[in-house]
Amino acid sequence: MSDKIKKINLNHSFIFFITINIFCFLIFKYSNLSISTIFCLLLILIIGVSHGSLDHIKGKKLLKLFNIKSNYIFYIAYILISTTVITTWMLLPSITLIIFLIIASYHFGKEDTQFLINDSSYFTQILYFLKGFLIILAPLFFHFQETIAIFKLLLINNEKFYLSLNFIETNKVIQIGIICSTLSSIFFFLKNFEMKKFIIFLDYFSILILNYYLSPLLAFTVYFCFLHSIRHSISLAIELDPNSVVNGFRLFIKKALPLTILTGIFSFIAMYLLKNSYNLDSAILKIIFIGLASLTFPHILLEYFLEKNEK
């Protein structure tokens, strides 16, 4: 099974690398070509969010491990955590953003790499974080001011926060972080070497190319939807039907559809409410990043407790 996932993911990474090179070339050649924020939101809602839409099935599995019969407990806990994240973001946006970026870096690094690694040491967990940190550092390195503008739209009005970012930029901290992320990828590639691990470098250069040519929002959308989410969806499809990836995807779409639609409905309700106070682009950016944070925290907690208790 592991070799099958590695082979499928290698093909996926190669196709993604070729495709984004063509896409970025077209964007660069036709510089007047622009992609709206609403299109990014739709991609994230349809493709990105769906990779976590089987959490209710995993939740039922976790409840069984704890001998809890009522499924409502999972839904209540999941919604409470999501609501708490949104509330905390409103009250303490700078701190919540920093925690979210740290957790998201670890999550991206782990989920994009763990199928290649047979090790769960603390050192490996740190390497996962450093590898995933490239997703945060690349837009800061290539489009610092645009990334800062997004932070400001996410209710971050703390002057000390931006002074810290300016200090980070002027003192080459971002470059050092990218070097550390690069070294983590090299370490993963060389440890228990096999050619299928070349996936790591295909993904690494794809992220850099995306962020060099595209705006921070579009680069993140393409990465999150077409690399991170599809890869996770592939692994879920194989879990659902180990004998047929195509049938596994059919089952995955069928099971993921209800929560994906529900998330979309809530997102558009939020957009309608926010439109009274913000312009459309600002409202969409808030929905994308604060919304993703509210879903990422319970998703990661679920994965952690399930993995820990299954062991």
Residues 231-254 have pLDDT tens digits of 888 888 888 888 888 898 898 888
Distance CA 30, CA 93 (A): 37
Average pLDDT over residues 31-50: 84
Distance CA 39, CA 52 (A): 20
Q: Is the pLDDT of residue 52 over 80?
A: no
What pTM was computed for the model?
Answer: 0.90
What sections of the chain are H helices per DSSP? Answer: 2-29, 37-43, 55-65, 72-91, 93-111, 122-132, 134-142, 144-153, 159-170, 173-190, 199-213, 216-223, 230-240, 245-274, 280-310
Burial class (CB in 10 A: 0-12, 13-18, 19+), 91: exposed
Average pLDDT over residues 92-109: 92
Torsion sign, CA atoms 88, 49, 234, 209 = negative
156-167 pLDDT, tens digit per residue, is: 777 788 888 888
Of the two residues 297 and 118, the one the predictor is more confident about is: 297
- The pLDDT-based confidence of 227 (bands split at 50, 70, 90) is very high
CA distances from 106 to 192, 193, 226, 230, 238 (A): 22, 23, 19, 18, 23
Query: What pLDDT does 31 receive?
Result: 67
Q: Is the pLDDT of residue 97 over 70?
A: yes
CB 225 within 8 A of CB 44: yes
Based on its alpha-carbon atoms, the radius of gyration of the chain, rounded to whole angstroms, reads 19
Distance CA 86, CA 69 (A): 29
Phi and psi (nearest 5°) for 264? -60, -40
Phi and psi (nearest 5°) for 88? -65, -40
Distance CA 182, CA 284 (A): 32
CA 200 to chain centre: 16
Average pLDDT over residues 281-298: 91
CB 234 within 8 A of CB 245: yes
Q: Is the pLDDT of residue 32 over 70?
A: no
**Mean confidence (pLDDT) of the chain:** 88
143-158 pLDDT, tens digit per residue, is: 999 999 898 888 777 7
Query: What pLDDT does 44 receive?
Result: 93
